[in-house]
Amino acid sequence: MSGSFRIFKIAGISVEINLSWLIILVLLTASLALDWFPVAAPRYPVLTYWALGFLAALLLFASVLAHELSHSLVARARGLPVKSITLFIFGGVSNIERGPQSPGIEFQMAAVGPLTSIVIGGVSLGAALLVGDASPLIWATLYYLGVTNLLLAGFNLIPGFPLDGGRVLRSIIWKATGSLRKATLWAARVGQGFAYLLILVGVWQFFTGYLVPGLWLGFIGWFLLQAAQAENAQVVLESLFKDVTVGQLMGPAPGGAQGNVSVQWLVDNYVLPYGARSIPVMSGETFIGLITLEDIRRVPRESWPLTPINAAMTPFARLRIARPGESLNEALPRMARGDVNQLPVVDEMGRLVGMLSRDAIMRYVEIRRGLGMEEVEPGQLSRREGAGRPSQGEPPLPVTS
């Protein structure tokens, strides 16, 4: 997620905060300080309400983090690499690099989140009960945490993508039918239906005088809608590319240039006459790197005649490459993560055997669509590439209004 920065690492997973999270932190603190604490624990100084409001908001996000962490830890224990957890305006997401391999793993990964929230909620409510009248401020904090965590669990159990309940539903349909694609389609449909409902209720609230809650619901609905569609597109594409190898779609390897020629020579002889945007760099017959327009732009203009291209290129060791025999589903995320338009295809001997380009993949999708073989929309490809891998979407705190 852009605009995120890392705050710490926990159990080897980096925890990031998105700038949009600051908005919800302020909103939550204010609503707690102005609406909740003065009612739940009257006759304290205003400053106390604000300090406690801030603390309770932080504790709520600690609960959201615990919820996400439970998803991530189960994912990792089942062999799925976890990149990070991000807290943002609508809650948290775990950035898990691959989808689960079986319905059983999916079920465990999804269910553990709401379960964690239920446990935190139950413990907080129990503690609130113990504290009772002894300390109204502590009671109000614990009670708030208890109720919001239970609401969070309840909201997440709604059986539509991208909510945890949607993942549970998907794992069940997946198990029953054996088709991940069918299961995803259904979970995404329920998710989209629910998202439209939220938007509808949001619009209705907005026009009946509840401006802020209406807007908030509308935004949550919109966010869920996007996520449900992206997830469905992802799975459709994965099934489309399952049996396609890089070697089948790659184009021929472009002619390379020797590493000792100058950047100026390359621009005059390759880039300008042929419009080449990405040129393999060779040392004799060996492929040693790739030089792109971006690499060239980094060299100051006046140094072009004197800089050999092997000093300006991206060397082989730092290149993202594809193998001719691997599935497109393995190569595509690499392309998306590197935000590059093509990957050099290198065989086991280190020889450059072709180029896999985004254009060729788009063309393939187009042709299959033209033949009526798939219902995938061309726009889904770019959406998937922009959005990266699927993540466990965590919605929001439905209780702030």
- Give contact residues for Zn ion (rule: CB under 5 A): 113, 164, 394
Q: Minimal distance in Å, beta carbon 191 to Zn ion?
A: 13
Contact 321, 330 (CB under 8 A): no
Assigned token pair, 117: 């929230």
- Computed from CA positions of residues 33, 39, 40, 46, in that sequence, does the dihedral angle turn out positive or negative? positive
Angle between helix 378-387 and helix 358-370 axes, rounded to 10 deg = 140
d(CA 48, CA 85): 31
Residue type, 100: P
Contact 317, 337 (CB under 8 A): no
For residue 13, give every residue at least 6 positions away whose Cβ sits within 8 Å of its Cβ, in sequence order, or none.
69, 72, 76, 82, 84, 85
Nearer residue to Zn ion within complex by CB, 113 or 280: 113
Nearer residue to Zn ion within complex by CB, 66 or 319: 66
Assigned token pair, 66: 């615990």
Q: Minimal distance in Å, beta carbon 257 to Zn ion?
A: 51
- Give Dmax (Cα) for the chain: 83
Nearer residue to Zn ion within complex by CB, 71 or 384: 71
CB atoms near residue 58 (< 10 Å): 13
Give the position of tokens 């964690």. 116
Q: Minimal distance in Å, beta carbon 54 to Zn ion?
A: 25
Give the position of tokens 């300008």. 272
Nearer residue to Zn ion within complex by CB, 67 or 278: 67
Which residue among 68, 106, 231, 385 is the active-site one?
68
Residue 11: DSSP 8-state = T
Return the H-helix or E-strand segment holding 70: helix 46-77
Residue 399 three-state SS = coil
Nearer residue to Zn ion within complex by CB, 100 or 256: 100
Residue 91 three-state SS = strand
Q: Minimal distance in Å, beta carbon 156 to Zn ion?
A: 5
Q: Minimal distance in Å, beta carbon 70 to Zn ion?
A: 8
Nearer residue to Zn ion within complex by CB, 113 or 221: 113
Q: Minimal distance in Å, beta carbon 152 to Zn ion?
A: 9
Alpha carbon 200 to its chain centroid, in Å, reads: 26
Tell me whether residue 231 is one of the annotated catalytic residues. Answer: no
Nearer residue to Zn ion within complex by CB, 16 or 394: 394
Residue nearest to Zn ion (CB): 113
How many residues are given for the chain? 401
Strands ordered across the beta sheet of 352-357: 251-252, 352-357, 342-346
Q: Minimal distance in Å, beta carbon 396 to Zn ion?
A: 12
Residues labelled catalytic: 68
